[in-house]
Amino acid sequence: MPGDGFLLLDSTAVPRGRRADWLAGELRAAIAGGALRAGSRLPASRVLAGELGFARNTVAEAYRRLAEEALVVPRVGVGTVVAAAGPQRAPRASATAAGQVLPSRPPRRTAPDPIDLAAGVPELTAFPRAAWLRAEREVLAEASRRTLGYQDPAGAPALREALSAWLARSRGVVAEPGGVIVTAGVTGALALLAGALLGEGHDSVALEDPGATGNRLILEYWMPRVEPVPVDADGLVVEELRRRDTDVVLVTPAHQYPSGVVLAPGRRRELVAWADERARRLIVEDDYDAEYRYDRRPVRALQPLAPERVAYTSSLSKTLAPALRLGWLVPPARLVEQLVERQWASGLGSPALPQLALARLLDTGALERHLRAMRARHRLRRDAAVAAVRAQVPGVRVHGVAAGLHLLLELPDGVDDARVAASARELGVLVQPLSAQRHRPGPPGLIVHYAAEHPARFEQAIAMIARVLRPHRGGRFPTSNRPVAGADAGM
């Protein structure tokens, strides 16, 4: 219907002999004005002709003219698509107000992609697209009307069942399927817990220092007070936690972020004893990258030591992709009902179809196969990363090599790590300074994530960082480099 369809085109007053001209002009203007963006598909000529009341040939003629001008491209099996780079015209000249003709400006050079060692993501190019697509296709093929309707806000039963079995198998986590809540990643679990804790009258949470800035920002958003607690070579210093006026603590026991230390067995017992002293105390366990262990045996989760004291959470962000926003929370049984109610009240839970696809990957063993492959790939990247650091910045101490997706480079005292990171950014390398992850002052450092970038790019980035650090060298680094393999000691 004229005026009612594509681009709101109104063809009523267009004379018969001028229709192709008119349509080509309208489409040109829509492309130039941005209403039709690169990659947009034009309607099939038959459909648009019907809409405008034109002959099909008229529309085809308008499309042909635009194709000649390289504004659109016909694609077999797809249709006519707006061209990506716009028309390939001869260089244009532009006229100034005084009538002087100037050559058009050369296209601006776009800056090369920065090398990103700041993002804590896995090798995303290895995302198992085929397996995920297959799982989604199977889920959709079998989805009943019920599957497509409103779902349990706690999560799809099939996924909660699969997670309960997988977490027991891989992490020793104790949870019935009914005790698993599907969340929007660890972040979603923290936000959910924070709401419940506020509801119970808590006004603060203790966090590891140094710790993950992302977690801190989320908890600062929700809670009136966060209390940093120092970390040493055995993990969170529970003695210090006892000096804080708080009944909730967030820890990363299997692989402390960012130091890489493991919460020692004695500390685990101390922490649980702290929680046992008051009924309202809670330990939140962020098991964010537990799947990646290279030179040491997997460390069990803390939750099985005290399922009634620990709220366990993890996600797919380090194993598949953060974009999926899929994670899980296993809270103490006393909290399950109210947390599920909060999920219901804040959006009726997570989208069901991706949950079912994940359940399928777990049930068929595809996720575990993928993880085995990822572990091997990430180990190679870890080895290359350590070698690059040793070669380019000898003397720097490297922490956290045995597990995870990042290294911590300890810099000599007195180096301003934030300035190092800022200079690296100017050279096109993104890296996190350790000082940004801590509350109290401490040794400077850089957190470098090695999984996402190709080893050649990682090596390039380390060379840039070495350049930035050069003025600080000259005997100021510790002269003996500890063996890096297994050098997971604290800071």
Ligand X SMILES: Cc1ncc(COP(=O)(O)O)c(C=O)c1O
Residues that bind ligand X (CB under 6 A): 120, 185-187, 212, 214-215, 252, 257, 286, 288, 315, 317, 322, 327
Of 414, 452, 418, 451, the C-alpha closest to 437 is 418
Counting beta carbons within 10 angstroms of the beta carbon of residue 184, is it exposed (0 to 12), middle (13 to 18) or buried (19 or more)?
buried
Shortest reach from residue 209's CB to ligand X, in Å: 13
Between vectors from CA 395 to CA 392 and to CA 400, what angle results, nearest 5°?
Answer: 90
Q: Would you say 82 or 405 has its CB closer to ligand X? A: 405
Q: Would you say 284 or 393 has its CB closer to ligand X? A: 284
Q: Would you say 355 or 460 has its CB closer to ligand X? A: 355
Q: Would you say 218 or 465 has its CB closer to ligand X? A: 218
Between vectors from CA 410 to CA 405 and to CA 415, what angle results, nearest 5°?
Answer: 130
Shortest reach from residue 160's CB to ligand X, in Å: 17
Shortest reach from residue 277's CB to ligand X, in Å: 26
Shortest reach from residue 243's CB to ligand X, in Å: 24
Listing DSSP states for 167-214 in one string gives HHHHH-----GGG-EEESHHHHHHHHHHHHHHHTT--EEEEEES--HH
Listing DSSP states for 19-80 in one string gives HHHHHHHHHHHHHHHTSS-TTPBPPPHHHHHHHHT--HHHHHHHHHHHHHTTSEEEETTTEE
Phi, psi for 183 (deg, rounded to 5): -130, 175
Of 376, 373, 314, the C-alpha closest to 127 is 373
Q: Would you say 45 or 252 has its CB closer to ligand X? A: 252
Q: Would you say 186 or 446 has its CB closer to ligand X? A: 186
Shortest reach from residue 481's CB to ligand X, in Å: 27
Shortest reach from residue 185's CB to ligand X, in Å: 3
Q: Would you say 72 or 184 has its CB closer to ligand X? A: 184
| Block residue for tokens 């966060």 | 226
Position with the least CB separation from ligand X: 185
Between vectors from CA 378 to CA 319 and to CA 459, what angle results, nearest 5°?
Answer: 130
DSSP, res 8: G
Shortest reach from residue 190's CB to ligand X, in Å: 8
| Block residue for tokens 């050279």 | 427
